[in-house]
Structure 1
Amino acid sequence: MDLSHRFSKEELALLYEEVLYTIRHRLGKPEQQHVGDSQELYSYVQKAFGMDAEEHSVIMQQVMELESPIYCLKATVKEAKGILGKDVSGFSDPYCLLGIEARSQEPAHPDHKKRMKAVVKDLIPEDQIHRTQVMNQTLSPVWNETFILEFKDVETASFHLDMWDSDVVESMRHKLGELTDLHGLKRIFKDARKDKGQDDFLGNVVVRLKDLHCWNDQWYQLEPRTETYPERGHCHLQFLLTHKKRATTCSRTQPSYTVHRHLLQQLVSHEILQHQAGSTSWDGELSSHASTVLYLHATQKDLSDFHQDMAQWLAYSKLYQSLEFNSSCLLHQITSIEYRWVQERLRPEQKAELAESFQSLLTYGVSLIRRFRIIFPLSVPRSMDRLQSLLRVLVQMCKTKAFHELCTPSPDLPQMVSRALKSGTTEWFHMQKQHLKPMVKSIEENSKALSKLLLEVIEDLKQCQKIWNKLFSTNLKLNIFSIAYLELESLVAEHVQEQLHKVDSSMSRPTAESLFDLYRKLQELYQMKESLPSRYKTPREERCQREGWSSQLRGFLDPTHSPTSLIAHQAEQAVGVWCQREHHRRVLGSSLDGVGVRAGGVRVPCSCCAVGEANAFIPRDGPLALSNFHQWFEEALPLWLQKAYTTTLERAQRAIQMDQLKPYGYHKHSTSTVDLSTCYAQIMTTWQQLNWPDPEKAFMIMVNLLEDMCKISLMYCKLIKERAEALSLSEQNEGKAANKLCIVVNNIEQLRLLMLKLPVQLDWAQLEQRMRGIIDPQQIQNALHNQLDSTVACLDHEVRDVVQALATKLEKGIARHIQELSSSSDTQKPEDSIIPLMKFLESELQYLNEHLVQENFKSLLALLWQHTLSVLSAARGPQVPSVQHCQRLFCALKSLELCFHAEGCGLPLETLHSAAFQTLETYLALCSAPSRKLIQKYFSKRIQQQLDTSSEKYGAVTIKALYRPSEQKLRVEVLNATNLIPLDSNGSSDPFVQLTLEPRHEFPEVVARSTQCKKNELHPLFDEAFDFLIPSEKCRQEGACLLLTVFDYDVLGANDLEGEAFFPLCHLPGLDTEQDEADMARVPQTRLPLTHPKPTDEILQLLESRKRDKEAQAFVKLRKQRAKQSKETESVGTEGSLCLPQHSSQHQLTPIFGQQRSPEPGRVA
């Protein structure tokens, strides 16, 4: 693209003449970054101006014929420091003499250096010498005076500057008054020798012009004329090599900055077009050739920094409107203008030109912002940076003093941008609508086109919110999302309503599906209002947002069909809607039209937008146009729900048909459950997308949704069991058939857990809160919770049925192995006899644990445990079993307890230790114990009975007992007996007390001892002491006791039993002490109520059954003799026989001894 047409051919030729003239008459040494070869500059400008060789030669010839300019050195004497103090006071009154020495050639004389130190007035004519002001009494003078010095030849000209101390005639008294040190006194003597009024030399600076750059600014050292005082300080000088009376047409007819601006515009245009990466990435950096040309022209024309910045701004801002480049260049220029702005520097035509550039760039920039979606697309790299740079330039420009002073009245940038964004958004919407207009005029195609349009709108708003809003908010305090949303929302509402009016109520399913997609897009668009500032929302919308309904609604939507349950009908009554069940879909679509108003309210925009009101077009007089958009789709709602239900049902049935009932991955359920869960997840998404605002209709949808989900769940249970049955018929392996049942129960359990999550996932609590005041809470309970509880109960029942079927398959094996255990040889060890049973259970339970979920596995274990206890109880037989038999059963019971508990991974101990288990464990522990152990338990039992007895109906005996550890001796004092029963015919008794240590097998060497017989006494006083030698450890044995038996002495027959008492040896005083208690008097008395043995005892019965055990038989015989003399009678419900409680299982348990037996003949009842 060639921009040379912006200048006419004549203008371009004159400008080319100007640049050639500038190169030809360049002055100064080239800067390091500039081009020093003039031929390179000629070639560059020839390309930049598009001149061919002939045109270049012609204009170059014209330039050579032009008169040369007057060369000038613009010298500025700024300041000096460290100069000599020539006055008595130690200061000087410095001034400078400066001028240019012109010589025809460079002298080669040996004293050239000496001549360079000559004073100015000796080298330069007086009329060419310039003088600065005198700065009084200072060693650091500041002048800042500028002088224009003309010269002819830069090669031979030199700049000379002399610095002098001005000498004014003063009286001797005044000088002595200023005297401060010895140096001042020497100065007085020196002044006395020189002529009055003669100035003192302070130093000089000599610079050859050919050594200067076009512009120099540096400190120079002041040189002495002699070697005295070589350090004379420094002087700060600035030099600029310029032209006067340039002969070019442009220089003679146009202002310097105008010519410079035109040259800048031409060179920048060339630089942009030559940029390989494209104009938009050009950052304003010029090539060294362009920089050199512009630098030479500016210095030769002596343009100030302000006019250079102004020229650059005018050129760049004009070029930006034809060639877009990085606007950061403009930001730099406008910042420089603001920094150097002084209105008085400009002539009226310059002010007008600058004001016009401001207005032009502002108009152009706002037009770009209006079309920012097209001009700055996000698909193009650095679009955001370009837009942000433009906004910063416009904002900075409108803030400048120059803009406010020249552009009156000053336009309001935020207001202009707001209006531009609104109109640009409208234009963009209509352009998108036209672009997406369907070729075929049908309802389906129109709906699809609307969905695509809404998709573009939503995507645009997301970009406005996430990307563009930050730019406009940061630079202009504008919320572009709010502006775009309010404009697009109104346009969308109007356009969608116009299209939906064409839809017939008897729409087809494809039409309804396309409308659902449109509804979803509208829902997403409407929900974006939550990102609007609060003042954009109506009070109702703010209240809804605080309640959190629109953002907190969560759950599944299971598409419904015609309801068949009473709960659905109760829900219809609860919301006040009466309908027949066969017309319920129609009611869902149209029976609740009374809520809200149909959308279409007019949004009233704000008429203006100042900086403080930058967020324009706020709908202050009504809701958003999309507030009730859901009412536009009420006729399509039943079709949406029916379609969703049908799809879910078909997917579930197809998933069951394809299910091979094998574990899915690392899970224990199969693929059909995964597919059903996916269907429910899709339903949840559908419900969230639907998010029906009307609470009454939303509740009706929820009720029917729940009913249909329950139906699908129960249907799944039926079909999955049928599928398992069908697969089992083709399987010959019984284990694989059991595996199918495991998968079935896991699937149903997974479905049950899924249903239990519905209240949380569907957020029933929020729904109930919305329905508060509309429907009675009890009716909500009936419509939702009871329906769900009923379905979950059905699923629980299904799980139990399948688990029971699995348990039944194992119960036969368990019963068979326990039967084999019972019938095994008595010579076999119990640990060996239970190995087959434990291997069977280990194999089966490990398999079931791997294939069942934990909950179902524990339910199966509970059933198997009850069955196992029943079989073990039955295995004991109707009679008292043998010791070996009971040992096998007891070993099996304890091993099974460990197996079913599985170190906490199985059933908890609370479940295992049921009443049946405890009874069976106690019985088997007794039956399997050795005879001596039973005897010990018998005495332990009698000791406990003794401790629990408080009645003295048979009298009491009082003793004192003490154990002496050092002697291992037990001393017993029998004190008395009281309230004995009269057993003789005379109404009295002849009592004596027999003392024995029991059990006898623990004290075989200790003989029984007896007291004296007291004639005719019912309250005898014995007061006798007995000693027994026994070790202390024997006293601590189980059942160890002192048996005190009170008899009535009978001369002719056997002694009659008055009663017996049991004193536990473990409670002996002194037994647990290391030292003996010396005084028996300190031992407390012990009063023991006398008791009689009961006619029957389970331990004695067990011992009696052991016919081959002589020790057991002897003990039973002794106790039976005592029992014959007992006055205790047998009563029903006593502990005469050990029976197991009846189980609810199919196996009935029988008492150990069968039915209860009557006392033997002759036994004391």
Structure 2
Amino acid sequence: MNNLAARLRAMESRTGSVGDCSKIANYRASRHNLFRRRSTRRRISNAQRLADLEDFINRRVQASDNNFFERITQPLDVDEPADDELLTIRNLTLNADQKQLEALYVEALYTITHKVGKEECESRESLYKYVRSAFQGDSQLHNTLMEKAKQNKPPVVLLNVLLLEAKDLIAKDINGFSDPFTMMGVVPGKREIAEVIESNEDEGVKSSRNQKRDSVLHRFGGSFRRKVGKKGSDSGTIPAKLIKASSVQRKTLNPQWNERFQFIVDDVQTDRFHMDIWDHDDEEQSVMDAVSSLNQITGGFKGLGRFFKEVAQSARADSGESTDDFLGCISMNLSDIPLDGIEQWFPLQPRSEKSKVSGSVKLKLWLSTREERLGAEEDDLLDVKEHIELMRQFALYEIRLSGAPVRLWDGVFPDKANTILRQHAVQGDLTEVHTAMCRWLAFHSMIPIDISFSLLAKTLQNIQDKWQPMTLDKAEEDMLTASFSSFDTYCKRSFAEHRRRFHPSKRNAAEEFASLVRCMRALRDSQFYQKYLPYKRPFHAHLESLIIKSAEDFFDETVESVQHEDPCKELLKLLGVINGSCSRFQQYANVIREVGRIDYCQLTLSTWDRMLNEYLTSEMMSERKTDLRSQMKISANQDPPNEDDLVDLIRIHMAFVELRNYRLANRVRGKDESEWYGIFNRGIKNFLELAKEKALARISLSCQLDVPICTSSNDMRHSSSHIDVCHIVEQMTVCWDRIDVSELTLRIDYTKDLVDILCDIVVTYTKKIFSNLEAEGFTGDLQVFVPSPLLQLLCSTINNCEQVRRSLMINEKLHLDDLAIAYERAGHGAPTWKAAVEQRLEQTDATICAEIDRVVGLLTSRLKPQMKKHVFHLAWSPTAHPVEDSLKPLTDMIDIELSAVHKNLLHKNFLRVMSAQVGIVVHLLKECVDENPGMEPAFYHRLFEAWHVLVDFFHAGGKGLSMEVLETCPEHVALVRTLSLNQTSTQQLIEKYYKDLLKQQAMAEHNVNNEVSECKYGILNVRAYYNANSQTLVLDVIGAKQVIPLDANGLSDPFVVIRLVPKYRYPTQVVSKTRVVSKTLNPIFDETFEFHIPPKLPPCAMLHFTVMDHDYLRSNDFAGEAFLELADVPGFGVAGGNTLRQFNLILIQPIQNNKEIIDVLTSRREDKDALEFLRSITTAY
């Protein structure tokens, strides 16, 4: 390892690095030692150190030019509001009066102590415990207040009955209807039965009025009575403690009353409610008078209320009494009434077997209380105020308990709190409207501690849904009116500050803003608001004015906050704030469009655009030493340019472009800015020149400070310099995308300049790092063994180049297509400049790829001698030896080479290494074939099989080179064709030769028939059929047309040579010829030939026609040839029949494709069939 460190130090010394590079070299040398530690913690630590060093180098390179590129593209220096700490209860003090808080504490305990109604809930002890926690009371205080609550007089329990309607009652009158009315009361439960005072004898004498009254009482007494004294004696009927009657509904079986009654309850657990329905027949006395008389009887009994334990359901003992007027009754225990009350249809029950009843009655029953505290001042709103404070106290406790910010509380109370609140509402006789109002007022009072608008919106909607006119008292409506007015003011203030208050960086900001707008809309649209807080303008106009006012205030505040001595810097900050706010439009626009049907973006941008124009006008007329326009002109025209001023100018330009894009997107017409763009255009030219200078200086420094990049989890090799180059390219393209040159032709010129600059930067960097690689010893005379540090440096270098090459794929970022379309529309003609720009980028890409391929070639070619030995071993190993085994030395060597670089290279570069190895193997196999011509086909077949094994090896199951790349590689295609031909037998080659010519003839015929091309060499007309009986092929050579002229007189002396081919299939058949027809291009032969051949056709059997030009003094000239496949001749195979069929054969001349077959056959000098074939075609041609 020490030797490795020494070699690395020597490599660093040759790079000529300066400054801190010596420290970097030491770090490189020690890096391998650090990563070989066994401790995982130490490996992570060293990886972190390497990452920190890389970051340090990159920041140092960027700082070398005062972060020139980063300053241009960085976000403008805008003081974004931080996500302020959301208020929590831990940060708050309640600041409530201690005496009032204790009174509320007592009220909560009092409510639990005297809870009423049927409810399955927690025990009283758990409710006491919850209240103690909510009020943060210690044990002593809790016990003291508990005693105080118990000392207070218990509340009076009230039963509330709402008699709604009945249906399907039985008809008692002759007209088929009834006149129903109800009598109801609370029947006492466990009471001591008092002795009945002896009745006065004089009571036996009754007036007619008393008799009528008793008839009513007599009927009702059957239900509200208890027999007293001995069995069988009826001492009297005891009425309920308080009996009330409803009105009489005339002539109906479905009466509707909607009347409310209230009864005092002595014992909720034992008392019962009873109600009878009767048909009213007494015309002279009202029901109410009768009931009043009935209730007066209670004065004549001692402790009468104690006797009403239950309602008697049996019929009267007196069978003489009539029950014809009874319509039904209901009875239920008060302990069965739920806390929230009950509203339902109750089926009517009979009193005895003789009673005939039907139908049901709809009632609403609920319990409430009335406190009778001594010395308490009368306050009609006391229960409401207590409920509000109690709900607020529980809310504060729940938020404090959760530890979450107030804004995130969802308003859901636990079961214990809900139980206490429901009990308090019931005992205070608070309706649903009251509880909804109390909930709203409680949450509204928590606005100062940042309660969420989402919760307020839901609560507001709830009270608006439940409120109806006359449901609240005047004082209660005044409380609600005051809260709505206060909340409306709060909403206006919040909306005016919505950019700060609902900034996207804050949690739930979007949801909160949406709830704010919905609150404003719901408040204005509510019936209550319209009745008690009338307004002048509709909501649409109100919201529109708020948007405009908010935009104006925001702009004025921003101008005030960005004041600076330099007008350019002030304008830059102002535009930065405005653009930043525009980028957040959608945070607010969607909700306002949905709720208010207002285009928030257009309205706000129009306001800002107007105010910005006013600002610019005032700045141009400023009395400063240098006004805005003059300062910008100076920044654009300075020579040499001032870097800071030029950067500010370009950033102002990009800010204007961004603002203009926002205006265009929202259909806002802006002011003509041609004067400004003239200044900017001059500044852009200076910027490009300065950017090139800065970029080249950065590259030089980055290459000097280059350090490797590698982590323990990833062996991919890079160095820090490529990050700087890619960063420069990215920064410049991003900057260019945000720059807008006003003149089209000028933008095109600047685009070409930009591309030239970027290409020069990338090529310069590529040359530098390859020069550094060569300085480390990676040259053309590489040894077989490459030291690991040098190999890693190679991987890092070509990976850097590949990454930089990818960064230059900027065609889309330059918007060349859009520019070309605009160029043509402007009437400038074809955009030839576009092809030049694309060609420049392609050339740079090709240059980088060529450099990478050159270095990869140096790496792979060093093993070529060894690979050649392995190929020789493969070719000359015994045939019995499997090809895979013969290839193993070669594949093992290639696999070791690939494994050494696989993890260190980008996949693209790894494929480049594989491609280079493929090229070497292909070359060696081709060389082996060329050096060994005329061998047996088995020799080439072995090489052919070996190559397919190698193809699978390089494909590596899809992880290596793709089959498409391998199959389209020209060298691969040529090798496969060469091996395929050489491994093929002579006869198969001859057949392939003729088949290829037959295909050529068929293609020529197709082109002539489809008028794609003309008949170039003429047409031969023949007729043929096969006589199966005599096994004779009959051929008529009719003539030829358009034979090519081969004599000096422009004519020919054509004749036709006829052969059956392949020759080895028909060795006994002689060559036939027609007569010579002199001086013509359209000869007529009319000659017949017969060939005796068997009916079974061998493969590729055909007639070969050769048209020759007869020459008396010299050798005959070749005019063309044609082929007739015997399978197409009638009488053979599928052709069928023995009738002469005419064939018009297109004459062709052989093309160069067949030369490869001829060459292979020529190499087989000892093959008789090959020699005979070559001799035959030589004679023919």
TM-score by length of 1: 0.53
The equivalent residue for 2:382 is 259
Q: Is the 8 A contact 2:106 2:146 kept in 1?
A: no
The equivalent residue for 1:695 is 744
The equivalent residue for 1:402 is 528
Query: How do 1:968-1117 and structure 2 match up within 5 A?
Result: none
Q: Could you list the runs of 5+ residues in structure 2 that have no partner in the other structure?
A: 1-91, 197-220, 228-233, 284-318, 709-713, 869-876, 882-886, 899-907, 952-962, 998-1022, 1036-1058, 1072-1087, 1107-1120, 1134-1139, 1143-1163
1:358 matches 2:489: no
Q: Could you say which structure has the greater relative contact order, defined with CA pairs below 8 angstroms and 6 or more residues apart?
A: 2
Q: Which protein shows a greater Rg?
A: 1
Whichever residue aligns with residue 265 of structure 1, its letter is: I
Distance 1:597 1:699, change over 3 A: same
3-state SS of 2:674 partner: coil
Q: Is the 8 A contact 2:369 2:427 kept in 1?
A: no
What's the % identity of the aligned pairs?
Answer: 16
1:251 CA displacement: 5.9
CA offsets, 1:752-795, max 9 Å, x none?
Answer: 998996766634343344445879558x747x755875897899
The equivalent residue for 2:411 is 283
Q: Is the 8 A contact 2:857 2:916 kept in 1?
A: no
The equivalent residue for 1:162 is 276
The equivalent residue for 1:185 is none
1:397 CA displacement: 2.0
Distance 1:215 1:968, change over 3 A: closer
Q: Is the 8 A contact 1:265 1:319 kept in 2?
A: no
Whichever residue aligns with residue 259 of structure 1, its letter is: L
Q: Is the 8 A contact 1:86 1:92 kept in 2?
A: yes
Q: Is the 8 A contact 1:93 1:166 kept in 2?
A: yes
1:341 matches 2:468: yes
**Equivalents in 1 of 2:1067, 2:436: separation in Å?**
130
The equivalent residue for 1:767 is 819
1:1111 CA displacement: 16
The equivalent residue for 2:180 is 94
Distance 1:765 1:1068, change over 3 A: closer
**Equivalents in 2 of 1:298, 1:418: separation in Å?**
44
Distance 1:471 1:677, change over 3 A: closer
Query: How do 1:1120-1139 and structure 2 match up within 5 A?
Result: none
CA offsets, 1:87-108, max 9 Å, x none?
Answer: 4566533222345667993439
3-state SS of 1:163 partner: strand
Whichever residue aligns with residue 294 of structure 1, its letter is: H
Q: Is the 8 A contact 1:29 1:213 kept in 2?
A: yes
Whichever residue aligns with residue 364 of structure 1, its letter is: Y
Q: Is the 8 A contact 2:491 2:516 kept in 1?
A: yes
Determine which of 649, 654, 664 is the counterpart of 1:523: 654
**Equivalents in 2 of 1:153, 1:531: separation in Å?**
74
3-state SS of 1:143 partner: strand
**Equivalents in 2 of 1:450, 1:323: separation in Å?**
35
Q: Could you list the runs of 5+ residues in structure 1 that have no partner in the other structure?
A: 170-192, 542-594, 599-627, 819-827, 833-837, 876-883, 941-959, 973-995, 1009-1024, 1043-1062, 1076-1081, 1085-1105, 1114-1118, 1120-1134, 1139-1165
Distance 1:229 1:1038, change over 3 A: closer
**How many residues of Structure 1 are paired with residues of Structure 2 in the alignment?**
884
3-state SS of 1:144 partner: strand
Q: Is the 8 A contact 1:166 1:199 kept in 2?
A: no
Q: Is the 8 A contact 2:725 2:804 kept in 1?
A: no
The equivalent residue for 2:1136 is none
Distance 1:452 1:1000, change over 3 A: closer
TM-score by length of 2: 0.52
Query: How do 1:495-514 and structure 2 match up within 5 A?
Result: 505=634, 512=643
1:357 CA displacement: 2.8
CA offsets, 1:145-192, max 9 Å, x none?
Answer: 3345567887997655433223479xxxxxxxxxxxxxxxxxxxxxxx
CA offsets, 1:715-735, max 9 Å, x none?
Answer: 678768866765668664477
1:469 CA displacement: 3.5
Measured on the aligned residues, the alpha-carbon RMSD in Å equals 8.6
1:200 matches 2:325: yes
1:363 CA displacement: 0.3
1:405 CA displacement: 1.9
Distance 1:289 1:511, change over 3 A: farther
3-state SS of 1:365 partner: helix
Query: How do 1:884-899 and structure 2 match up within 5 A?
Result: none
Q: Is the 8 A contact 1:651 1:679 kept in 2?
A: no
Distance 1:384 1:117, change over 3 A: farther
3-state SS of 1:78 partner: strand
3-state SS of 1:270 partner: helix
Determine which of 593, 609, 612 is the counterpart of 1:473: 593
3-state SS of 2:182 partner: strand
3-state SS of 1:97 partner: strand
Determine which of 393, 398, 418 is the counterpart of 2:519: 393
Determine which of 639, 643, 656 is the counterpart of 2:691: 643
Q: Is the 8 A contact 1:425 1:487 kept in 2?
A: yes
**Equivalents in 2 of 1:1111, 1:100: separation in Å?**
130
Query: How do 1:294-373 and structure 2 match up within 5 A?
Result: 294-299=424-429, 305-306=432-433, 309-310=436-437, 313-314=440-441, 316-320=443-447, 324=451, 328=455, 331-332=458-459, 335-342=462-469, 347=474, 353-373=479-499
**Equivalents in 2 of 1:1083, 1:125: separation in Å?**
130
Q: Is the 8 A contact 1:897 1:912 kept in 2?
A: no
Distance 1:641 1:808, change over 3 A: closer
Whichever residue aligns with residue 473 of structure 1, its letter is: R
1:403 CA displacement: 1.1
Determine which of 675, 685, 709 is the counterpart of 1:597: 675
The equivalent residue for 1:229 is 355
Query: How do 1:715-864 and structure 2 match up within 5 A?
Result: 732-733=781-782, 762-771=814-823, 777=829, 781=832, 785=835
Whichever residue aligns with residue 536 of structure 1, its letter is: R
Distance 1:328 1:251, change over 3 A: farther
Whichever residue aligns with residue 164 of structure 1, its letter is: W
Q: Is the 8 A contact 1:74 1:149 kept in 2?
A: yes
**Equivalents in 2 of 1:205, 1:1006: separation in Å?**
126
Q: Is the 8 A contact 1:205 1:220 kept in 2?
A: yes
**Equivalents in 2 of 1:689, 1:998: separation in Å?**
75
1:638 CA displacement: 1.6
The equivalent residue for 1:1016 is none
Query: How do 1:70-219 and structure 2 match up within 5 A?
Result: 73-81=159-167, 83-87=169-173, 91-99=177-185, 105-107=191-193, 116=224, 123=237, 130-149=244-263, 161-167=275-281, 200-205=325-330, 216-217=341-342
Whichever residue aligns with residue 675 of structure 2, its letter is: V
1:475 CA displacement: 3.4
CA offsets, 1:995-1030, max 9 Å, x none?
Answer: x9999999999999xxxxxxxxxxxxxxxx999999
1:700 CA displacement: 3.0
Whichever residue aligns with residue 468 of structure 2, its letter is: W
**Equivalents in 1 of 2:357, 2:726: separation in Å?**
97
Distance 1:86 1:383, change over 3 A: same
Determine which of 667, 675, 685 is the counterpart of 1:536: 667
Q: Is the 8 A contact 1:80 1:234 kept in 2?
A: yes
3-state SS of 1:536 partner: coil
1:283 CA displacement: 0.7
Q: Is the 8 A contact 2:726 2:807 kept in 1?
A: no
Q: Is the 8 A contact 1:162 1:202 kept in 2?
A: yes
Q: Is the 8 A contact 1:370 1:421 kept in 2?
A: yes
Q: Is the 8 A contact 1:260 1:311 kept in 2?
A: no
The equivalent residue for 1:1130 is none
The equivalent residue for 1:987 is none
